[in-house]
Amino acid sequence: ETVRAYQAAHGPAILRDFATLLAIPNVASDRTGIEANAEYIQAQMRAVGITTELWRIPGVSPAIYGALDSPGATRTLGIYVHYDGQPADPSNWTHGPWEPTLYNRAMPAGGQPIAMPEDGAVIDPEWRIYARSAGDDKAPLGALIPVMRALNEAGITPTANLRFFLEGEEEAGSNNLEAYLSSHRTELDEIDAWLFFDGPVHQSGRPQITFGVRGVTGMSLTTYGPRRPLHSGHYGNWAPVPGQLMADLLASMKNGDTGEVLVEGFYDTVEPLGEMERAALASAPDYDRELQYELALGGTEGSPASLAERLLLPSLTVRGLSSGNVGALARNVIPSTAEAALGIRLVKGNQPGHMMDLVEAHIRSQGYHIVYEEPSDDVLRAHPKVIRVSRDSGYPAARTEMDHPAVQPIIAAARRATDQEMVLLPAMGGSLPLYLFTDMLGKPALIVPVANHDNNQHAPDENLRVANLWYAMDLYATLLTAR
């Protein structure tokens, strides 16, 4: 109630402050932008009473650590947020990725840009703010700071000791996260449970809590044809076509009708669900038909299995394809190479290296000679089919038991933040480095998402619905003051 009153009185300022944060470029590989974000966020946290410091590893994006103790608290909650974002091509955006723009409703619904509200203005919760990281993952910061300010002004202290860990390279694979956590075990061992503030609510619009995430890895593939591009009239039907080779190889990996991955052993290491997790899955909202309509899909992989069921299996996705040109730039040429980027999402039980080994074994079964560097002419002459493989690093999936005693008060508190029935799911489809917290630190972790499901995460015109920002404030206020 206190936070809602603050929101009603200061809503325009909350949106303007959020826009200021969103305007700071935060591509994970841009050290200058990441440093600017870290300094700004650290100042905002300190202004609401959180003791902060920047943890550093030479040549690496800083992690922001914060601590806030409450007198008489008997437990300590860890809060994870990442402040870095995905790259963005401005030519694909309606407005610049770091030019936060407010709309009176979603663009696909005919929304139009409007000015940021002045103090005293009435805010429509259906407004949307468009900018990179509006949904993933600066939304929690846009809600958390005003929540803390509201509690401070009302003299309300959190009921748990709080520890904040804000990562600056999640979108780049969290390659240095383990080093950060290992070197600061003393500060982190006192945490009883972790809350990951990331991700979207359920596609039905209902709030949700998930108990795990999929792991992630991937690989890049390059097939080879003639050493130089050839005229397709003079050499077509004779010279191998790299694009065709790649298309055939990718088609061999997956059943186009059922969506089943045909790589031998791909599903063998999947860890089965427990009884409570199966019950949660059975009680999840049946929203697939509405989602298919929204996305204009005439069918789905694995039908009639639901989206929630499919997310509990490892997946193999072609993230990108390239060979030659299309459209007005298409030429009568057989290109020298074709490239594909594969994404592999992992579930509990899968290990990144093992899953990539399986894919490579499948590639060899299709007659390919695998190399890991650019092949020489002699290598190309010696083998009819050569492919270069470049592996991503990645990390495994993680999942907390749904009946873990440390998470039950958190679930109960989250339910009090909404008048809708909370959706509880064993895991969400996206990936986070959760395993380092559950496996290495040995602590339970929950994902508490707040963004709208249609926030265009990682894509052009990423956005956050204002109603979801308000929900985030409600949720955080309830979680931080729960008894």
99 Cβ contact list (under 8 Å, min separation 6) = 23, 131
What is the pLDDT averaged over residues 201-212? 94
Residue 265: what pLDDT?
98
Over residues 387-443, the pLDDT tens digits come to 999 999 899 999 999 989 999 999 999 999 999 999 999 998 888 999 999 999 999
Sign of torsion, CA 421 426 427 432? positive
Residue 107, pLDDT > 90, answer yes
Structure tokens at 203: 């596609």
Residue 430: what pLDDT?
87
What is the pLDDT averaged over residues 118-126? 97
**b/e 340-365 (16+ beta carbons within 10 angstroms → b):** bbbbbbbbbbbbbeebbebbbebbee
- Residue 216 CA to residue 363 CA, distance in Å, equals 20
Residue with tokens 């609401």: 48
- Residue 379 CA to residue 450 CA, distance in Å, equals 52
Question: How many degrees, rounded to 5, is the angle at CA 212 between CA 60 and CA 134?
Answer: 55
What is the pLDDT averaged over residues 172-180? 94
Evaluate whether 115 touches 19 at the Cβ level (below 8 Å): no
Residue with tokens 């259906």: 126
Q: What is the pTM of this model?
A: 0.88
What is the pLDDT averaged over residues 179-202? 96
Phi, psi of 328 (to 5 degrees): -65, -20
Residue 14: what pLDDT?
98
CB atoms within 10 A of CB 385: 17
Residue 240: what pLDDT?
97
Closest among 278, 281, 199 to 445, alpha carbons compared: 199
Residue 463, pLDDT > 90, answer yes
Please tell me what DSSP assigns to residue 440.
Answer: I
**Residue count of the chain:** 483
Over residues 233-287, the pLDDT tens digits come to 999 999 999 999 999 999 999 999 999 999 999 999 999 988 888 898 888 889 9
Residue 383: what pLDDT?
98
Residue 483, pLDDT > 90, answer no
What is the pLDDT averaged over residues 441-468? 97
Residue 300, pLDDT > 90, answer yes
Closest among 397, 378, 379 to 388, alpha carbons compared: 379
Residue 364: what pLDDT?
98
Q: Report, in angstroms and rounded to the nearest whole number, the Rg of the chain calculated over CA atoms.
A: 24
Report the share of the chain in percent with pLDDT over 90.
Answer: 93
464 Cβ contact list (under 8 Å, min separation 6) = 128, 129, 134, 135, 139, 142, 451, 452, 455
CB atoms within 10 A of CB 422: 16
Average pLDDT value for the chain: 96
